[in-house]
Every structure is written in structure tokens, then in C-alpha cells.
Amino acid sequence: MDILNESVALGVDLIILGICVREYMYNKRVAGLLKTAPQYNIDGDLKSIVERQQTKSIPYAVIRGTVTPIGVPLRSSLVPSVSGVLQIVKLHEHRISRGFSGLWMEQCKLLHKSTNEMPFELRSQEHGVEIVDVLSAAVLDVDVVYDSYEPSTLSAFDHIFGFFSGVRQKGIQTTEEVLREGSFLTAIGKLELDGNSLRMQPSPEGGLFLTTATKSSLIKRFEDAKWTWILKIAFCGAVSAFLIGLIARKIYRKKKQQKEEARIHNLLETERRERRSRSRPLTLSEDQLCVVCVTNPKEIILLPCGHVCLCEDCSPHIATHCPVCRGKIVSRSAAFIA
């Protein structure tokens, strides 16, 4: 079909548009939630504030404090002078591979990821709030304390093998990220009273944020992202509208062409009938007339039975069986009775 390409392009564009809308909604929702989230100081009053709530929890709260391990802090495995409460070691393979277009493109693939965490709290003087389930945080600002890239040494064989397989390793990158002990962070999530101590966990509404940014700069980050998605939505929407227009124009043109063809066909048919009626003999005996309309002369022979019993006008309406002998019609032809 001639609108296949446009339809496929429209389908892909609508999928991208859907993703953009989903991202926009997420950013808008989080920005809205962050704006309404109340900010509390970590002090002696916080516990009683949470206790006063009916559910003994605040669904979305902002607190700020210093990362303090509960117990002996983790030591960085690659930089021993660094200690923290969360450690993420990643191993990435950098390689170049031949894409569909035949061009070599650089790729980065995660080979291994290991995490190590321990309980910790955000503290302000002698008061603290334990942070739970930190690895599922939507935003988690950690320090990169180690980043080393080792280029691969490839032999001539590796080069030749790489050329044919389409993948060639360039190097291995090792990084270590640590949530340092003593860093001052903003945490946003569900604040609740667990026994006698306070803890914060991912909120069912907006997740958990653990960031070096302040509440206002975090809101700005989501607002900015929201506008970026609006621009993308506008662009994808314009592409969709253009493609829909293109498809509609093609369908309209095709319909118009079909109409024109039908009009010419009818015109020719009418002319043919008139011409034939002019050349017909004026007086016909009854056995010379079409058995269906009993007006026009018999003009069509049905095969294989061989009956000449229909006029040209009635012939298209008799599709399967001969009206005289009920024999199956395989083919038909114009008959000239001289």
C-alpha cells in the first residue's frame, strides 16, 4: 500500500510521543509534589510532629542533615582513605561496534555492578532520622571517588577477529561511587515513626530523593526537565500532524481518482448501450428476446452449456447458473446471430 511508509513513521512517532508525555507527566507530578512537601528541621520537635499525625507518618517530607553511619562505616575498596555508608562499584566495557549503517560506533556496556550498603541516618546535632531503602532512590547524589580507564592491548589476531565479528574492545573502566560519611544532604520521602525512632523511606507517591541540592534547586531541576519534555512533545506532535496530513491527502487523492474512474466507466457504459440500442433490429419475435428482461435481444452465450439466453445488460446479474438449464457458468462470450 502506498501509505505504508507514512503509517509506520506515524506509529513510531506516536510511540515516542507517548514516552515524552509519560516523562512530562512524571516530572510535572514530582515537581508538584516537591512544592507541597513540608520541610522540617531534624530536632527534638520532629518526633512529636510525626506522632501527632493520624497515620504516625508524613507522606512526603523534606529534611536536611549530615550522613552519619549507624555502626562502623564502610571503607572504600579502591580508595582506602574514603569512608561512607553506601558503595557502588561498576565495571564498564568500552567497545566499538559496527552498526546497521556499517559505521563503527562507540558503545559502553555495564559488565558488573556491586553494591554495599549499611544503615545510616541524617543527623543534626544529637537528633537523627534513619534513611531506609536508599538504593531505590529516584535521585541519589553520590561521589565518584575512583575512576580508572585501562585501554585494551589488542593483538593482530584480535584486530582481524574484531573486523569480522563487528565488535572490538577498546578498554575497561572501573568506577567507584560512595555516599560519603559526613556529607550534608537533603532527603525527601515518607517520614514515619518506627517504634521510638524516626525513619524515612521511599514514598509511594514520589519515591525517595537523596541529594546535595536544596529543595528549591531540586524543584527547578524537575521544572526545567518538564519544559524540555514539553518541547519534545511539541516537536513529535508537529511531526504526527504533518504525517496525518500527508496520509489524509493521499487517501483523498486516491478517493478522488476512484470517483473519476467510476464516472468515466459509467459514461462509456451509457454510450455503449445507446450505440447498441440504435443498431438493434426494431421487431423481434419473443424467442429472440432475453429470458430475464424480455426486452433486449439475446446477446450472450453461456459456456459450457451453450445457451444463448441473456442480453448484455442482464448478463452481469446472472453470476453462477444458466437460467435455462441450471448448468454451471464457466465462461461467457458475446454471441452474434446472423
With CB atoms as reference, the residue minimizing the distance to Zn ion is 290
Q: Please identify, using beta-carbon distances, which residue of 117 and 312 lies nearer to Zn ion.
A: 312
Q: How far is the CB of 308 from Zn ion (least distance, A)?
A: 9
Binder to Zn ion among 142, 218, 322, 329 (CB under 5 A)? 322
Smaller CB separation from Zn ion, 171 or 323: 323
Pick one of 32, 59, 237, 327: the residue that binds Zn ion (CB under 5 A). 327
- CA angle (201, 205, 211) in 5-degree steps: 50
- Least CB distance to Zn ion at residue 253 (A): 38
Three cell numbers at 180?
A: 560519603
| Angle 177-215-206 from CA coordinates, rounded to 5° | 80
Least separation in angstroms between CB 252 and Zn ion: 39
Nearer to Zn ion, 211 or 315 (CB): 315
* Of residues 30 and 310, the one with the C-beta less far from Zn ion: 310
CB of 336 to Zn ion, least distance (A): 17
How many CA atoms lie within 13 Å of 315's alpha carbon, on the beta-carbon side?
21
* Whether 304 contacts 322, CB under 8 Å: no
Q: Which of 127, 324, 332, 335 binds Zn ion (CB under 5 A)?
A: 324
Say whether residue 314 binds Zn ion (CB under 5 A).
yes
User: Could you tell me the smallest distance in angstroms from the CB atom of residue 334 to Zn ion?
Assistant: 14
Task: Answer yes or no: are the C-beta atoms of 140 and 204 closer than 8 Å.
Answer: no
Q: 154 or 289, CB closer to Zn ion? A: 289
Q: Which of 36/283 has CB closer to Zn ion?
A: 283
Residue 20 bridge partners (DSSP):
none
Distance CA 103, CA 75 (A): 44
Closer by beta carbon to Zn ion, 54 or else 277 = 277
The answer to whether the CB of 122 falls within 8 A of the CB of 131 is yes
Q: Is 141 exposed, middle or buried (0-12, 13-18, 19+ CB in 10 A)?
A: middle
**What is the C-alpha separation between 37 and 32, in angstroms, rounded?**
9
Q: In this structure, are residues 301 and 335 in contact, taking their beta carbons and an 8 Å threshold?
A: yes
Residue 108: count other Cβ atoms within 10 Å of its Cβ: 10
Alpha-carbon distance of 84 to 67, in angstroms, equals: 8
The minimum distance between CB 266 and Zn ion, in angstroms, equals 19
User: What is the grid cell recorded at 165?
Assistant: 565479528
Judged by CB under 5 A, how many residues of this single chain contact Zn ion? Answer: 12
* Stretch of 100-108, 163-171, 215-223, 318-326 contacting Zn ion, by CB under 5 A: 318-326
Piece of 86-94, 170-178, 240-248, 326-334 that binds Zn ion (CB under 5 A): 326-334
Per CB under 5 A, the list member of 159, 325, 328, 333 interacting with Zn ion is: 325
For Zn ion, the closer of residues 156 and 330 by Cβ is 330
- Report the site for Zn ion in 269-308 (rule: CB under 5 A): 290, 292-293, 296, 305, 307
To Zn ion, the closest distance from the beta carbon of 279 in angstroms equals: 16
User: Do 160 and 77 touch, CB atoms closer than 8 A?
Assistant: no
d(C-alpha 192, C-alpha 59), whole Å:
8
Angle in degrees, CA 160, 161, 162, rounded to 5: 90
User: CB of 268: closest distance to Zn ion in angstroms?
Assistant: 20
Which stretches of the chain bind Zn ion, using CB under 5 A?
290, 292-293, 296, 305, 307, 311, 314, 322, 324-325, 327
